[in-house]
Structure 1
């Protein structure tokens, strides 16, 4: 045996697993098909890395079994994550909604924490290692990977698959974990892009495109859930935090409701303005909350050049409907290349929630994004990666 365990995938989960295993005196070899470890860590948060969320719990995750991650989050908590990084010189600074970023460091420093510890503990990270085959032995696993055109064979008693999900192909994402799971009879929950921009086509396409670059604080909702954050208009549709959040719950053909003024009642604002100065144009009132370009665009639906005192009840009702219940029917999404994470994955019923060991194949562990565990935007998916990596390490 070349090591106590082989970890396929040196992303967030694999790196944390290697470090925690090293603390316990276990020798592991990480195989990474990219040139460097931590590819998605390095691009996260625009290179700043939103490495956890203070409010992370099972409630912010989508899964066919919403209780599955509770054990992992109990074993390695948000406080444990914060303490871990503080130990190595990274203190968190909250940006918004509990999102923690390194205070005076960035994503490179986050990856450096792991590579430095691995070096200190003698954990090997082999990059440009493209795994071609996994053979399940009577005792352990035989891994064949390609290294510069040559096959290299490793054996270990235990195997960890932490190869992530389908986003983002240019960062080395593959369906490796899903293919291996299917080949070995494990059930898969249907996958789809999540935390992904939504596209608008057809008769409304031009209206959205003209607003490209405009950002508006909104409450975006469907029948399941709502999120209050900014939306960003683009030349192909909608993006921004609120849209990325709702995309994980959106189903093709479904209408999305957008409250364009979530913290005010437009009817009440009109009534107050009428008493103060009835000559105020509707556009003047709206410009207090939106850019002129956005107000002008709303002129397609609203009598923006009319004084508020002249508005009829029918017009006021129409204004309220447009502002607070703006309906959008996306044509689709921007796909895995623009998605931050994958929805669905290996069915968690195939995995022990306490150890993350595969029930059908002893000594095989799955962690991170390849499982049917999808977090909200804002550091939640990193927390799942850290927690799952820790849990697996305890059981190698």
Structure 2
């Protein structure tokens, strides 16, 4: 069977690439390591699949070359994603928070079903439980070696698409195959690391964080690069929650960041108002208006929570302000690829044509999705990049 392209990886990018190629009358073969297509789609958003974000823009991505994204995100827009799922799967999107769009059914399997049906309708092939071992450059294309049903096989194809994702999550068959292959074929790689990942705290502060395990606080988390306002979650080993996952993509080992635990209010104003009313309440009673009792008790390690507000010194008031609004954190590390949503880094965008995602040095070789040095924020941005990159590649096969 002659194929227009062999697509390595049956995830978001690979499936979109296959069906878009099919809609153009092309034939593709998807080689997928797992026993089902779209494994990562199925677990995303707690099985609900946050399939795009209404506010997607190049600024919502981390990459060494932000200009690279303009073509892909303008050629396949959020409106295109919404229309695609409405037209081919009757999936209506509903916004939850911050532009995050989920299927109204709240079922990720409905998203995967759109692709499996279109693959069938357009005559695309997918071989499951097939592990690709190598891709070798030949004179007129590429020789793809793989293991299928215990048998080693090879196929030659003019075009090969790497849509095999990144290193998260190993139990879903994730690997660095695309990165290793790109390097072997002479392409440069931007250093990879876990992103959108919980952060760990060790040392003398660890018991304090552990004592708050399960507590969630709406906060502003920021460093000198970026700021996010969402919930943070204290855990037995450190910090998680949306705002922490977001900042983790901009955090580097050894760095600190700051948490404003009460971003909608100013403690100096609250203390001033209390003093105007007589200042009879304690610091703890004031904080109880805004935090759980558990949180206030924990803050007692740093603050004079039993002191009457009327008797607070200037230094005491400043200590409260600084602790609540400028809580400094120095993580020991992160929870690694198995707890990360995505991978940061990947095939350098300098190696790819931004209009086609074809490798400049290797005609017929394409890279899309997570394997590329494009990492989106939490909240559907990475799916939008996967759909857009899959679409772009399909147009140029």
Aligned equivalents of 1:105, 1:249: Cα separation in 2: 30
| Counterpart for residue 79 of structure 2 | 79
Q: Is the 8 A contact 2:49 2:106 kept in 1?
A: no
Q: CA deviation at 1:277?
A: 4.5
Aligned equivalents of 1:176, 1:13: Cα separation in 2: 16
| Counterpart for residue 122 of structure 1 | 123
Q: Is the 8 A contact 1:231 1:238 kept in 2?
A: yes
| Counterpart for residue 197 of structure 1 | 198
Q: SS of 2:290's equivalent?
A: coil
- Equivalenced residue count is 396
Greater displacement, 274-283 / 116-125:
274-283
Q: SS of 2:354's equivalent?
A: coil
Aligned equivalents of 1:191, 1:143: Cα separation in 2: 25
Write the mapping of 1:80-119 to structure 2, written as runs, cut at 5 A: 80-87=80-87, 88-119=89-120
User: Per-residue CA shift, 1:201-237, capped at 9, x if unaligned?
Assistant: 0000000000000000110011111101100000000
| Counterpart for residue 337 of structure 2 | 336
| Counterpart for residue 376 of structure 1 | 377
Aligned equivalents of 1:119, 1:285: Cα separation in 2: 62
Aligned equivalents of 2:134, 2:253: Cα separation in 1: 36
Aligned equivalents of 2:115, 2:278: Cα separation in 1: 62
Q: Is the 8 A contact 1:197 1:333 kept in 2?
A: yes
User: Per-residue CA shift, 1:90-135, capped at 9, x if unaligned?
Assistant: 1111111111011124111100110111011111111000011222
Aligned equivalents of 2:188, 2:143: Cα separation in 1: 23
| Counterpart for residue 165 of structure 2 | 164
Q: Is the 8 A contact 1:212 1:233 kept in 2?
A: yes
Q: SS of 2:359's equivalent?
A: coil
User: Per-residue CA shift, 1:39-67, capped at 9, x if unaligned?
Assistant: 11011000000000000010011111111
Aligned equivalents of 1:48, 1:4: Cα separation in 2: 33
Q: SS of 1:69's equivalent?
A: helix
Q: Is the 8 A contact 2:134 2:181 kept in 1?
A: no
| Counterpart for residue 295 of structure 1 | 296
Which consecutive residues of structure 2, in runs of 5 or more, have no partner in the other structure?
A: none
| Counterpart for residue 212 of structure 2 | 211
Aligned equivalents of 2:328, 2:235: Cα separation in 1: 17
| Counterpart for residue 5 of structure 2 | 5
Aligned equivalents of 1:89, 1:303: Cα separation in 2: 57
User: Per-residue CA shift, 1:284-341, capped at 9, x if unaligned?
Assistant: 1111111100000000011111121121111001100101000010000001010000
With the length of structure 1 as denominator, give the TM-score of the two structures: 0.99
User: Per-residue CA shift, 1:265-297, capped at 9, x if unaligned?
Assistant: 011011112222521121111111111000000
Aligned equivalents of 1:312, 1:133: Cα separation in 2: 69
Aligned equivalents of 1:364, 1:378: Cα separation in 2: 30
Q: Is the 8 A contact 1:14 1:30 kept in 2?
A: yes
Write the mapping of 1:297-336 to structure 2, written as runs, cut at 5 A: 297-336=298-337
Aligned equivalents of 2:138, 2:253: Cα separation in 1: 43
Q: Is the 8 A contact 2:282 2:305 kept in 1?
A: yes
Aligned equivalents of 2:255, 2:370: Cα separation in 1: 26
| Counterpart for residue 39 of structure 2 | 39
| Counterpart for residue 26 of structure 1 | 26
Aligned equivalents of 1:168, 1:288: Cα separation in 2: 41
Q: Is the 8 A contact 2:168 2:174 kept in 1?
A: yes
Q: CA deviation at 1:32?
A: 0.2
Aligned equivalents of 1:59, 1:165: Cα separation in 2: 21
Q: Is the 8 A contact 1:3 1:155 kept in 2?
A: no
Is 1:53 paired with 2:53?
Answer: yes
Aligned equivalents of 1:18, 1:361: Cα separation in 2: 21
Query: Cα RMSD over matched residues?
Result: 0.9
With the length of structure 2 as denominator, give the TM-score of the two structures: 0.98
| Counterpart for residue 142 of structure 1 | 143
